[in-house]
Amino acid sequence: PTPPRLQRVTVLGATGSIGMSTLDVLARHPDRFEAFALTAQVQVERLFELCLRFSPRFAVLVDSAAASDLRQRLKAAGSATEVLAGAGALVEVAAHPDTDAVMAAIVGAAGLAPALAAARAGKRVLLANKEALVLSGRLFMQAVAASGAQLLPIDSEHNAVFQALPQGYTRDPQRCGVRRILLTASGGPFRERSLESLANVTPDEACAHPNWVMGRKISVDSATMMNKGLEVIEAHWLFAVPPEAIEVVVHPQSVIHSMVEYADGSVLAQLGNPDMRTPIAHALAYPERIDAGVRPLDLFEIGRLNFERPDFVRFPCLALAYDALREGGAAAAVLNAANEEAVAAFLDRRVGFTRIPDIIAATLERACDLSVDCIEAILDADARAREIARSEILARQTTP
């Protein structure tokens, strides 16, 4: 038999937590994968090292000064990697005719344009960048259907759901006997902390996740449980399941990554150690299975699996996300933009942790009549919501 052709993989956000885990899996299988393009925002040092190690055809830095710096250093090192600069170059490499698979692992709305470009170009899209789907769900899924792209979820919960759904799931839950999706949530670092003390938690405390090591933005989202809210919206678009059929189950051990409940009462779960290389390897090799470098699950060591109802009082962001999904239109895009701004302000110590949901709620109230029927309108709505959110942040800013 002829060996399978190498899959040429573009990694958007290569220097991040998901990007580095992706490259770790790629490096284990040089017979299957090669890096086609690696991208980052400004991280010259790390991207330089990755270029020497993986010899991609292209490296992209959004920041142009950083890109010139990288170009010079690679040239001096005798590397053949071509360096491109600017956000437009992200779109270019994501849709390039010579790339087969695109890992969308940029954080936030900044990742939408290249992820959508990959979907429109009919690539195998490995989607970690949940914000892209929250912003543009309908448009994104239409692009996937129109181009015949293969969309594979990387978010561990959605990857678990994908694995627990029937092969060839038609995005018609009724027809496939799917009753509910049960999204598990760890509850983050503040699940048991006293409510009064939440106002004074620091960025580092919020980023100290009990089970996962991740970028700072998603770590804060996990602490507010907005991450789970964004994931409810993500699940709605990926699997065409209505909001009332998506339930959040707090499961502090993060061993069950999510479940699908069927009409006959069966509940199928996917389990594993909390290591993103499992969903990454699953999506890269799908429908085959490859080694991901992940430690085998030791159920005896884990001992027990616990489940709790989510606390909507402690975590108002979760309710805000469900409301935005039910409201439809631009609400989810506004929610996402306000959240990105509020989290950035919290990480800068400009506002307290418990102000995050207040800022989002206030922004949702003020942002109305925004359109989300094309990418330009979505980006406009995103920009408008950010302006409003910034004024809400200013109004709550703690003077240093």
Is 258 a binder of ligand NAD (CB under 6 A)? Answer: no
Is 155 a binder of Mg ion (CB under 5 A)? Answer: yes
- What minimum distance in Å lies between the beta carbon of 129 and Mg ion? 12
Counting residues that bind Mg ion (by CB under 5 A) gives 3
- What minimum distance in Å lies between the beta carbon of 177 and Mg ion? 25
Choose between 121 and 214: whose C-beta lies nearer to ligand NAD. 214
Is 107 a binder of ligand NAD (CB under 6 A)? Answer: yes
Residue 124, strand partner residues: 101, 150
Task: Name, in order, each residue with C-beta under 8 angstroms of 255's C-beta and a sequence gap of 6 or more.
Answer: 271, 272, 273, 274, 297, 302, 305
The secondary structure of the chain, three-state, reads: CCCCCCEEEEEECCCCHHHHHHHHHHHHCCCCEEEEEEEECCCHHHHHHHHHHHCCCEEEECCHHHHHHHHHHHHHCCCCCEEEECHHHHHHHHCCCCCCEEEECCCCHHHHHHHHHHHHCCCEEEECCHHHHHHHHHHHHHHHHHHCCEEEECCHHHHHHHHHCCCCCCCCCCCCCEEEEEEEECCCCCCCCCHHHHHHCCHHHHHCCCCCCCCHHHHHHHHHCHHHHHHHHHHHHHHCCCHHHEEEEECCCCCEEEEEEECCCCEEEEECCCCCHHHHHHHHHCCCCCCCCCCCCCHHHHCCCCCECCCCCCCHHHHHHHHHHHHCCCHHHHHHHHHHHHHHHHHCCCCCCCHHHHHHHHHHHHCCCCCCCCHHHHHHHHHHHHHHHHHHHHHHCCCC
The residue within the footprint of ligand NAD, chosen from 23, 95, 128, 241 (CB under 6 A), is 128
Is 106 a binder of ligand NAD (CB under 6 A)? Answer: yes
Choose between 87 and 305: whose C-beta lies nearer to Mg ion. 305
The entry of Mg ion, ligand NAD, none near residue 341 (CB within 5 to 8 angstroms by kind) is none
Is 163 a binder of ligand NAD (CB under 6 A)? Answer: no
Is 136 a binder of ligand NAD (CB under 6 A)? Answer: no
Choose between 15 and 278: whose C-beta lies nearer to ligand NAD. 15
Choose between 57 and 130: whose C-beta lies nearer to Mg ion. 130
CA angle, 395 then 398 then 400, to 5°? 135
Choose between 19 and 173: whose C-beta lies nearer to ligand NAD. 19
The entry of ligand NAD, Mg ion, none near residue 22 (CB within 5 to 8 angstroms by kind) is none
Is 103 a binder of ligand NAD (CB under 6 A)? Answer: no
- What minimum distance in Å lies between the beta carbon of 111 and ligand NAD? 6
Is 99 a binder of ligand NAD (CB under 6 A)? Answer: no
Choose between 45 and 172: whose C-beta lies nearer to ligand NAD. 45
The entry of ligand NAD, Mg ion, none near residue 129 (CB within 5 to 8 angstroms by kind) is ligand NAD
Cα–Cα distance measured from residue 93 to residue 250, given in angstroms and rounded to the nearest whole number: 38
Choose between 116 and 362: whose C-beta lies nearer to ligand NAD. 116
| Residue 252 tokens, joined | 């502090």
Choose between 61 and 161: whose C-beta lies nearer to Mg ion. 161
Contact characters 171-210, ligand NAD, x per CB under 6 A: ----------------------------------------
The residue within the footprint of ligand NAD, chosen from 23, 117, 155, 345 (CB under 6 A), is 155
Contact characters 264-303, ligand NAD, x per CB under 6 A: ------------x---------------------------
How far CA 196 is from CA of 94, 181, 223, 251, 352, in Å, comes to 46, 33, 15, 24, 12
- What minimum distance in Å lies between the beta carbon of 119 and ligand NAD? 15
Is 234 a binder of Mg ion (CB under 5 A)? Answer: no
Q: Which residues bind ligand NAD (CB under 6 A)?
A: 13-19, 40-41, 43, 62, 105-107, 110, 128-131, 155, 212, 214-215, 218, 276
Q: Footprint of Mg ion on this chain (CB under 5 A)?
A: 155-157
